Chain A
Amino acid sequence: MKLQHFLGGLESLGPVSTETRVFVEEWEKRIFGIHTAMMALSSQLPLPATPSAFRTVWTWADLRKGAEAMNPFDYFKFRYYEKWLGGICGYFVANGYITEEELEARTAEYCADPDKPLPQDSATPAAGTTIDQRVERYLMEGDSPKRELDIAPAFKEGDAVQIRNVPSIEHTRLPGFLRNRSGVVETVYPGVYGYLTDTGTDGIGAPMPVYCVRFAVEDLWPGNTEPNVTLYADLYATYVATAA
């Protein structure tokens, strides 16, 4: 089991951060921009081809899988964009775009001279859609997971349901603290929704209904929560079963 799948409800962590900045270091903006460009250039999207040499798939699921695979102490040790930096560098090495050696050598160059400028583009742009145009188009249009398929939802609003304890291995969208718990369907979202990757025995990927399920926190953490609180979670249909 992965601690990252079971964060909700974890105790004794001390005070929360009230840091309102999005980026606390300038370099964090760069890794965010690289990640977003990778998502936009990812090969599964129905967007116009560009001259980019990026030929593989990179989605939120890849970033999340990396974060979920981390040593849980490291997960708490490293700041949000430090985790991104590690995961994204690892992806480019693992997929053969760069080598660890050239990344290390270039890092040493910028350590020695942080102000050394970035290189210019190596080739003059070809005709057609540019990399930046595709990136902007991705941001403006998004990548809706909603699919037009006729799959009837098994539950309706007000139905009592029990959350399954599916065997999640690499990646899940089922928060651990909801496993085996009982709730009530608050909303049946219209349509069906795929997920960015197939999570295997965890069960998401193919289009399916999604429910908003309402939970009484006293059922989630008996005797160990606060009064007059209700928790709602959006859950893929495969995680939701008939109440026992």
Chain B
Amino acid sequence: MTDRFQYPNDREARSAARAKALESLLIEKGIINATTVDTVLKVFETKMGPFNGAKIVARAWVDPAFKQRLVADAPAAIAEMTDLPEGMAGAEGEHMRAVANGEGVHNLVICTLCSCYPWPVLGLPPYWYKDPTFRSRAAREPRAVLKEFGLDVPSATEVKVWDSSAQIRWFVIPERPAGTEGMSESELAALVTPESMMGVAVANAA
């Protein structure tokens, strides 16, 4: 979309200065501390991020009973896992649901009104998810959109689009790729991308 509009040459420098000016005023006025923004960012580097979702999906791949429980009651199944950080039912993850791809079904998660995203398991939404063009088009022509991501969903496969407009934050359990039979859970987790857990990609064997 950028080509359609004119932007000043100092677009980014000016925004950077304005953001820094705001942060510095908020610190001076005692609204936040000098460490607060870094504290927030650290949570998304260490506790809330797609590294959690990848572990959850890998567990679902190796344990079909866990996968069933994850689809039936995602928070309860996630709470069973002992190798995840605290906060898995925290901000933007208070009510999560998982949908599983499988034979004849491909799921795609969108948010046409804003950018609802399951923070504890996926962290923060990538730019493609927040883009108004994606949000507009994915509702009406998901197959065309997925093609632009390089994903050709066969016409016999149903595409289920989940629009997050209320309290639920959705994520997708992609299919386990072929040729990964001998892999450990942590090797499998490395194959799971944020895009595959939102449905604009599938998980591929490395």
Interface residues, chain A, CB within 8 Å of chain B? 4-5, 7-11, 13-22, 24-34, 36-37, 39, 41, 51-54, 60, 64, 67, 73, 75-77, 79-80, 82, 85, 88-89, 92, 97-98, 102-103, 106-111, 114, 118-123, 125, 130-132, 135-136, 138-146, 172-175, 177, 189, 193, 210, 212, 217, 220-221, 224-236
Contact = CB atoms under 8 A, between A and B. Distances in A.
Interface residues of B, number: 92
A230 B159 contact: yes
Nearest to A174: B165
Contacts of A227: 155
Nearest to A26: B16
A33 B37 contact: yes
- Main secondary structure on A side of the interface with B: mixed
Contacts of B127: 17, 19-22, 24, 79-80
Given A22-B125, A110-B20, 8 more contacts: A14-B1, A14-B133, A33-B40, A106-B21, A189-B167, A217-B161, A226-B140, A228-B158
Contacts of A111: 10, 13-14, 17
Nearest to B88: A140
B32 A139 contact: no
A226 B142 contact: yes
A16 B134 contact: yes
B80 interface: no
Interface of B: 1, 4-5, 7, 10, 12-41, 43, 47-48, 86-87, 89-95, 112-115, 119, 123-128, 130-145, 148-149, 155-168, 194-195
A229 B34 contact: no
Contacts of B32: 34, 37, 41, 52, 54, 131
Nearest to B43: A139
Contacts of A233: 162-163, 165
A9 B110 CA distance: 12
